[in-house]
Amino acid sequence: MARVTIENCIKKIKNPFDLVLYASQRAKELNQGEPTDLDKENDKNTVIALREIAQEKIPLNYLKIELVKSFQKNNSLLEELEEEKKK
């Protein structure tokens, strides 16, 4: 199952290193209780994250933004920009 999923993901994200980053970010979110539209089918969160990426169930831009946020120590500038967007 996971091998087929990775092969499908590589069609969406050409760089395997980026794929690892995006999938790990999504798996962390799933571990923290984020909902998914997919059936778990006794799969681990890492496999579910890969399936979501392969089936385009989650936007890659969202994962990229969340990944960057996870590495930032000071999010105040980002929060200010998001507040300005709302206005």
Q: Record the pTM.
A: 0.77
Distance of alpha carbon 40 from the chain centroid: 16
Percent pLDDT > 70 in the chain is 92
Task: Using pLDDT thresholds of 50, 70 and 90, give the confidence band for residue 1.
Answer: low
- Bigger pLDDT: 73 or 52? 52
3-state secondary structure string across the chain: CHHHHHHHHHHHCCCHHHHHHHHHHHHHHHHCCCCCCCCCCCCCHHHHHHHHHHCCCCCHHHHHHHHHHHHCCCCHHHHHHHHHHHC
Least confident piece of the model among 10-14, 61-65, 75-79: 75-79
Domains of the chain: 2-86 (3.90.940.10)
Distance between CA 5 and CA 53 in Å, rounded? Answer: 9
**What does the pLDDT read at residue 75?**
67
